[in-house]
A = this chain, B = another copy of it.
Amino acid sequence: MSGRRRRGEELEQAILRAAAEELRESGYAGMTMDRVAARAGTNKNAIYRRWPHRAALGIAAYRHLSDAALPNPDTGSLRGDALEMLRQINATWSSPHGAVLRDLLAAAADEPELLTLMRERSGADSMDRVWLGMLERAAARGEAPAAAVHHRVATTPVMVLRAEYAVRGNPSVPDQVLVEIVDEVFLPLVRGRG
């Protein structure tokens, strides 16, 4: 029927695109190999020749649709930086991207191999570095004690936000909560390390 027969890179991209769309529409549970193959206009052979598992395809599809550029706000105040950072993260996790990511993380809880793949892909390390940079700038401005430039301080806000997602089922958090995390936890913590 179709005159052309796609090969190599072109076919691979088509499969990834199809898988990403399935992920977005139906989540990881709904991302069936047959449906991906059908949507890509190919068959499962071409998929299994490239990825060993369904899960591997899921991860590849996710990274295909998401090249999350990490935000790095510099508003001039520690409070402004932190709040902006949390707002960006909240927006990302509430987006369809975030839904796919959370779904994949949940599904990968069984398979440790995938979990590590996801983790190294999630950019947790660079996230830390951004927060540490914020703290360093604040310390240089005299806005925070030098002892506040610390790994645990840097990771706490995001961890609290993430836990907030877990407590609510809803992955989106009202802005008021973000303000609360900054004013009631992050800034007191920074002050308390004088």
- Interface, chain A (partner B; CB < 8 A): 27, 29, 102-103, 105-107, 109-110, 112, 115-116, 119, 124, 150, 152-153, 155-156, 158-160, 162-164, 166-167, 169, 180-181, 184-185, 187-193
Measured between beta carbons, the chain B residues less than 8 angstroms from A164 are 159
Q: Is the interface of A mostly helix, strand, loop or mixed?
A: helix
Kindly provide the distance from the CB of A162 to the nearest chain B CB, expressed in whole angstroms.
6
Interchain nearest-CB distance for A87 vs B (Å): 18
The listed residue with most B CB atoms (<10 A of its CB), out of A164, A166, A190, is A166
In the complex, residue of chain B having the shortest beta-carbon distance to the beta carbon of A30: B110
A124/B167 contact (C-beta < 8 A), A110-B29, A110-B103, A153-B184 known: yes
Shortest Cβ distance from residue A107 to the other chain B in the assembled complex, whole angstroms: 8
| Given the contacts A116-B169, A119-B169, A156-B160, A110 and B191 also touching, CB distance less than 8 Å | no
Measured in the bound complex, the distance between the Cα atoms of B106 and A166 in whole Å is 11
Residues of B near A103 (CB, < 8 A) are 109-110
Contacts of A156 in B (CB 8 A): 156, 160, 185
Complex partner residue of A153 from B115, B155, B166, B185, CB under 8 angstroms = B185
| 22 residue pairs bridging A and B, Cβ less than 8 Å apart | A27-B110, A106-B106, A106-B107, A106-B109, A106-B110, A115-B169, A119-B167, A124-B167, A150-B184, A152-B184, A153-B185, A156-B160, A159-B160, A159-B163, A160-B160, A160-B163, A162-B163, A189-B189, A189-B192, A190-B192, A192-B192, A192-B193
